[in-house]
Amino acid sequence: MKPLRIISFVLVILAGSMLALFLAERPQVKAASSDFLIQPYVQIGSRPPAAKTERLNLLWSTNASSSSWTVEIKWKGNPSWTKTAAPSRQPVSLDGIEPFFIYTATLAGLTPGESVQYRVARDGIPVFAATANACKAAGQPCRFDVFGDCGCGSRGQKQIAYQVFQSKPDFVMVTGDIVYNFGRMTEYLRHFFPVYNADQPSAEDGVPLLRSTLFIAAPGNHDIAHGNNLDVRNLDQFPDGLAYFLLWSQPLNGPTDNPGSLDTPVAEGSAAHRQAFLTAAGKNYPRMANFSFNYGSCHWTVLDADPYMNWTDKKLRDWLEKDLASAASATWKFVAFHQPGFNSDSKHFEEQRMRLVCDILEKYKVDVVFNGHVHNYQRTFPLHFTLKKQPDGNAMAADGTVSGDFRIDRTFDGRTSTKPDGIIYIITGGGGAPLSGAHIQNRPEAWQPFTAKVVADQYSFSECSVDGKTLVIHQIAADGKELDKITVTK
């Protein structure tokens, strides 16, 4: 081949590659079916306090603007199909993607812990049906699975999803970085819903979890703060960003509801892009970044641990204290947030700001804290942490570290000794994103003194069972093998 033809051939190949890369990065919205952009999925919603019956929210999205949608349900105590109240409709119009609508129906009057069948009809024709389980009440045993750092479309993500499906949890807690890299609507459509709401279970493609199993999520930096050194709150750059506030329906009992105020992920960009986002997010923004809920005999507190949050702020601390104090009757108290305060990996080691709330968590006897951010599995010994102020009087050093004194319970092993003295902190960030920490995998001498277990070479999730005053935590790998197990008793 002549040199000129070779050069032309190479240029054509390069141009094709650049075009493919450009198209891959452009927002592309493809419907899950002819009826749905996003097929129906269940959410915990903003639950009324002291309700005598249970309820779930059912969400779906569609590009169809003129359709009439209805939902019918039936369960053991109500064996005939009964229409729910008319679903609400939230229009979403963001630059770069076709306008669509998010529908929300409430499945109300449910019996705690029992299954409910539902079917969704478009213009009177049933187009989707599934079965979900109502939330459990105090005293009922429950199982939940925990993982974070997941929605990237990797083989590991799909394998973990398949193992979670096999474990049949009552609900799933995601410890942040739900999708990569920028928390965008289009990333949910590519890497979240196809994996967790597939029509058939497959370790290679995805599983039908979301339509039947509650997913609850703490926001991570890739969701509402920073991803790959870019500010994901920049709506001029990512008009479909901050999708966490559009696609999740979670309790709205957090400490702040003022868009743009301190301790919130301030949406940036032009007035038009900000207004489009605010209209789509509605009352979810910014309050849904911090919230709490009860499930069975467990109280959960979910926190935003991103850098703009100042957990020395009295308003935030008062809310956290009030929330945990209100859970005095709960047998178990769990807290979930993204960035861990206690970490043996060099990656993110200096991001210790969440140590600032340890005094409150210990005061109200939190049992386990679940984190992500670091892409591996780590478990601490039960520990107490006492903050030491910096020489300048600040609680946190300029590099992000937080100094203090540790009291570590090394007698607890989760087998023969099951009553911990202190809080157990678990990083379960092996949900699908590239793993980290191989340099410490088999080197306990490189771990921090508070670390009891590290698994950095396998994707994994935490499978947790609560029955009365016993909690059992298994760490399960992508191939189904058990990597760690502890029992905690009261």
pLDDT band at 7 (very low <50, low <70, confident <90, very high): very low
Amino acid at residue number 275: Q
List, for residues 242-256, the tens digit of each pLDDT value.
999 999 999 999 998
pLDDT value of position 14: 40
Q: Which residue has the tokens 């400490």?
A: 255
Confirm if 58 and 71 have CB atoms less than 8 A apart.
yes
pLDDT value of position 52: 67
| Torsion sign across C-alpha atoms 455, 458, 459, 464 | negative
Enumerate long-range contacts of 78-82, CB under 8 Å, 24 or more apart. Answer: 78/109, 81/119
Amino acid at residue number 350: E
Domains annotated for the chain, with CATH where assigned, are: 38-133 (2.60.40.10), 142-489 (3.60.21.10)
pLDDT band at 13 (very low <50, low <70, confident <90, very high): very low
List, for residues 439-476, the tens digit of each pLDDT value.
998 899 999 999 999 999 999 999 999 999 999 999 99
Averaged over 262-288, what is the pLDDT?
Answer: 96
Percentage of residues of the chain with pLDDT beyond 90:
84
Confirm if 241 and 280 have CB atoms less than 8 A apart.
no
Averaged over 29-36, what is the pLDDT?
Answer: 65
Q: Give the range among 44-48, 175-179, 333-337, 355-359 with minimum mean pLDDT.
A: 44-48
3 state SS of 57:
strand
pLDDT value of position 318: 97
Most confident of 39-53, 287-301, 380-394: 287-301
Q: Is the pLDDT of residue 48 over 80?
A: no
- Pick left, alpha or beta for residue 245 (phi over 0 → left; psi -120 to 50 → alpha; otherwise beta): alpha
Return the DSSP state at 460: E
Q: Which residue has the tokens 């009177």?
A: 124
The CA distances from residue 155 to 151, 165, 204, 218, 458, in Å, are 11, 15, 7, 23, 12
Enumerate residues 6+ apart whose C-beta is below 8 A from 292.
251, 253, 299, 300, 301, 302, 323, 327
3 state SS of 103:
strand
Pairing, β 171-174 against β 214-217:
parallel
pLDDT band at 46 (very low <50, low <70, confident <90, very high): confident
CA 150 to CA 147: how far, in whole Å? 8
pLDDT value of position 234: 97
Averaged over 38-58, what is the pLDDT?
Answer: 87
Q: Is the pLDDT of residue 29 over 70?
A: no
Q: Give the range among 50-64, 95-109, 317-331, 440-454 with minimum mean pLDDT.
A: 50-64
CB crowding 442-465: b at 16 or more within 10 Å, else e: eeeeebeebbbbbbbebbbbbbbb
Q: What is the pTM of this model?
A: 0.92
Rounded mean pLDDT of the chain?
A: 92
Which residues partner with 320 through β-bridges? none
Confirm if 82 and 105 have CB atoms less than 8 A apart.
no
Averaged over 120-149, what is the pLDDT?
Answer: 96
CA 178 to CA 92: how far, in whole Å? 20
Q: Which residue has the tokens 């597939």?
A: 198
Tokens of 368: 């386990």
pLDDT band at 22 (very low <50, low <70, confident <90, very high): very low
pLDDT value of position 102: 97
In this structure, the number of other CB atoms found within 10 A of the CB of residue 77 comes to 11
Confirm if 309 and 400 have CB atoms less than 8 A apart.
no
